[in-house]
Amino acid sequence: GTSTPSTRPETTTTDNYAFAFDIDGVLIRGGRPIPEAIEAMRVLNGQNEYGLKVPYIFLTNGGGKTEQERCVQLSRQLELEISPAQFICGHTPMKEMAEKYKTVLVVGGEGEKCRDVAEGYGFKDVVTPGDIMKDNERTTPFRKLTDQESQHSRKRNFGEIEIEAIFVFADSRHWGDDQQIIIDLLTSKYGRLGTTSESYDEGPPIYFSHNDIIWSAEHEHTRLGMGALRTSLEAIYESITGKKLVSTVFGKPQLGTFQFATRLLQQWRKDTFGINKPPETVYFVGDTPESDIRGTNEYNESSLSENDWYSILVRTGVFREGTEPRFTPRATVDNVLDAVKHGMKREM
Ligand code: G3P
Ligand code: MG
């Protein structure tokens, strides 16, 4: 048979550099793609003047669904195939804690979805605020579970259960009630509901999947995030106990999260493109100076990174022109398409 010669140049994949993307405020806002995002992804997939493909991963502080579910949604929004093997969300690194505790409280997200996420990570016994409200409806004086919520909650006898740790996986949908339950546990004896510690140092540890005070959603102004919940919990805890609340935070800008991303990127480049060496440069595109730019810069300056992590700030999210970002990016551009063009041009 005859083959028609293609007019398009063969695409090759670069092993020199890669991209990593924040999601909210860079690619998505309020459930809809930012207009330039679809084109930006096409450019990375070879639709560019150099006929070059560039590997990339996603690193969001958001969460509340399984990585699989989130990738299906993101693939639809950005009109391309995205694999969980190139995706990290706020709670992904928490899976490394699954062996450490037996019974844990998981807070945040839509309905009981985060219970599924935690069980998928291998957590053995996952309790939700709904389970606690179902066992004792006096827990939250101003809210009763709806029939549907009640159906998805598990009736247990919390008088006999020790909750060993608290994990805030995703944004709380009921701040007041979730905070009440978290405070009950933090001030308890060894995570046993109904008890109160006299010394206030017997409560379970608390972990947050990130610490973003604000984030970029559909509203024209930024919205309160999990970091705001954490800040208010600290204030409540201190006014009740007179002690400072000690907590552990995952997500950006934590260096551990960037190390996690480095390992994922290495695996992704190897499995998908057969690239066996680390990239010289990783371009990180973000909208939040405190998380994205700070994390990228500090990781880059630390002894942990073996390549150049180059921070690019976009103007489509948390950062607004006319303000001074608290952490200085290597470049500031209008949107994610300009960020991709900036990095590719720099490499040519
Ligand atoms: O809740 C999500 C938000 O705090 C940040 O998401 O994608 O901008 O890291 P992202
Ligand atoms: Mg963002």
- What does the block give as tokens for 243? 């002690």
* Protein residues near ligand 2, an ion, with CB under 5 A: 22, 24-25, 287-288
pLDDT digits (tens, 9 = 90+) for 224-248: 999 999 999 999 999 999 999 999 9
Is residue 87 within 8 A of residue 50, CB to CB? The reply is: no
DSSP annotation of 309 reads E
Would you list the domain boundaries of the chain? 12-90+253-347, 92-249
Q: Which residues line ligand 1 (CB under 6 A)?
A: 22-25, 60-62, 171, 212, 215, 225, 288
User: CA 297 → CA 259, 262, 292, 304, distances in Å?
Assistant: 13, 14, 9, 12
Residues in the chain: 348
CA of 171, closest atom in ligand 1: 1
Please choose, from the candidates 321, 319, 323, 297, the residue with its C-alpha nearest in 3D space to the C-alpha of residue 308.
Answer: 297
83-126: per-residue pLDDT in tens? Answer: 999 999 999 999 999 999 999 999 999 999 999 999 999 999 99
pLDDT recorded at residue 268: 98
12-90+253-347: CATH class: alpha beta
What average pLDDT values come out for the chain (348 residues) when binned by 10 residues?
52 96 97 97 96 97 97 97 98 97 98 96 98 97 96 95 98 98 98 98 98 97 98 98 98 97 98 97 98 98 96 97 95 98 97
Which stretches within the chain are classed as H helix?
35-44, 67-78, 113-120, 129-135, 147-152, 175-186, 226-241, 255-273, 294-301, 336-347
Q: Whose CA is nearest to atom 2 of ligand 1?
A: 62
Which of 71, 47, 42, 53 minimizes the C-alpha distance to 12? 53
Domains 12-90+253-347 and 92-249 share a fold: yes
* Superfamily (CATH H level) for 92-249: HAD superfamily/HAD-like (3.40.50.1000)
Pull the structure tokens for residue 289.
């100076």
